Amino acid sequence: MEIPRPSVVSLFTCGMGLDIGFEKAGFSTRYANDITRFACETIRTNKPDVSCDEGDITDIASAEILKRASLRRGQVDVIIGGPPCQSFSTAGRRRGFNDKRGFALLQYLRIINDLRPNFFVFENVPGIVSAAKKHVSFYDRMTDSSKITKAQKYGSLFEEVIAEFHKISGYKIEWRLLNAADYGVPQKRKRFILIGSKSTDPSLVFTEIENSARFADPKNADKLGKKLWKTLKDALEGLDDTEKEQVNFPRWGKYLKHIPPGGCWVDLPTRLKKIAMGGAADSSDPRKKGKQGGRRGFYRRLSWNAPAPTLVTSPTQLGSCICHPDEDRPLTVKEYSRIQGFPDSWNFVGSTSQKYRMIGEAVPVELAKTIAAAIKKHM
């Protein structure tokens, strides 16, 4: 008699990167939800047997999820999901629970409390750890830190997030920041991972995960006895990408011809730097001068011999440019997908920009598989 695969309820599923990793580790996605039509069409196209709800999770009752998954309360093995992260991202204004996208986290917690899974996995951007309840600009922090209120302090919102997880009775929780590159992903991508369990100490799961990290930064790999991080060349080797589906850079893309592989705006000719950088160039404002950081994402060209940087939801944003190593173009959808670990046969449905978004928001498949395998071992 065939033993059923452990069950997964997937929330905020998007392109299914987390789900594919769990399925590679022997799990079965029984239910998926996303608010966007293009993500749900992608799920239905690639996984027609998965029960998929399109819509705002706020409007979906927990009982309906169990019904669609053909499970009862307490029968769900794992709930996985990454509620929208823009409210906690360092790239935004970090409004947290004051933003509807931050409120989505509370809905995630509601469903965990109602379904009572054995485990749950919550993933998000690393910036959630330092998120403050009240936004204050970087330059104001640098000018006079003594004026920063308790609500404006780094981590004040994160304390509330963790407190919300602790309100779910009967679960132990642990969290870590994991770098996908350490797990064989050709991308330097850090993610916040929180694991909760009602039957196992999740710190044991994280020990299993961390012991599975077989790759390391080339600077330390020999000393640690690990393999070198995988590179962009490793990721794209043998890729058949005849369609070359991509977006194009805006007018500022003309400056990329001056950037060598692995370079960025600092490699521009001196006469072009201020013109190309515009308002992002160094300033005479005494609050900002010399405090703007490296801004190494501007006019960034990738290197064949290093992992890709974190893939974002669009490769054509000036501050997080993702340019091909040799050609003056962004990476294609297929190249993006390869780096994240999606199967070459995976069919993303939607516009080109929507496809980039699904891939950019995904958890790299190999990292997800490592997390899933560690959980399965402790079930």
Q: Output the domain CATH number for residue 132.
A: 3.40.50.150
DSSP H/E element including 41: helix 37-46
Classify residue 332 by burial, with Cβ atoms within 10 Å: 0-12, 13-18, 19+: buried
- The C-alpha atoms of residue 52 and residue 60 are separated, in whole angstroms, by 12
User: Residue 299: what are its φ and ψ, rounded to 5°?
Assistant: 50, 45
Q: Is 50 exceeded by the pLDDT of residue 154?
A: yes
pLDDT, position 95 = 52
Question: CA-CA distances (angstroms) from residue 142 to 131, 150, 155, 296?
Answer: 17, 16, 17, 20
Round to whole Å and give the CA distance between 273 and 295: 13
- Copy the structure tokens of residue 343: 């199967």
Tell whether 206 is covered by a domain. yes
Both 371 and 328 in a single domain? no
Compute the chain's Rg from CA coordinates: 21
State the pTM of this model: 0.92
Same domain, 307 and 268: yes
Does residue 280 belong to any structural domain of this protein? yes
Range of the domain at 332: 232-360
What pLDDT shows up at residue 135? Answer: 72
Counting residues of the chain whose pLDDT is more than 90, the rounded percentage is 80
40 shares a domain with 17: yes
Residue 236 backbone phi and psi in degrees, to 5: -100, 0
Task: Identify whether residues 179 and 268 lie together within a single domain.
Answer: no
Query: Are 44 and 71 found together in one domain?
Result: yes
Two tokens at 285? Answer: 């404002």
Same domain, 136 and 262: no
- Known active-site residue 85: yes
Q: Are residues 180 and 284 in the same domain?
A: no
Instruction: Say yes or no: 61 and 191 in one domain.
Output: yes
**Contacting residues for 17 by C-beta, under 8 A, at least 6 apart:** 340, 341, 342, 359, 362, 363, 364, 365, 368
Cβ atoms of 312 and 322 within 8 Å: the answer is yes
Question: Are residues 32 and 19 in contact, defined by beta-carbon separation less than 8 angstroms?
Answer: yes
Beta strand 28-34 pairing with 51-54: parallel
Give the chain's mean pLDDT: 91
Among 181, 228, 171, smallest CA distance to 205 is for 171
Distance, CA of 71 to CA of 7 (rounded, Å): 9
Residue 45, in any domain of the structure: yes
Query: Residues 186, 55: one domain?
Result: yes
Is the confidence at residue 262, as pLDDT, over 50?
yes
Claim to verify: residue 194 and residue 313 sit in the same structural domain: no
Tokens encoding 41: 């069409």
Name the least confident of 151-155, 273-277, 297-301: 151-155
User: Would the pLDDT of 24 be above 80?
Assistant: yes
- Residue 207 forms part of a structural domain: yes
What is the pLDDT at residue 90? 46
Same domain (yes/no): 175, 257? no
Indicate if 252 and 371 belong to the same structural domain. no
CA atoms within 13 A on the CB side of 367: 24
Looking at the predicted structure, is the pLDDT value of residue 94 above 60? no
pLDDT at 141 over 70: no
Domain count of the chain? 2
Of 14, 52, 85, 321, catalytic: 85
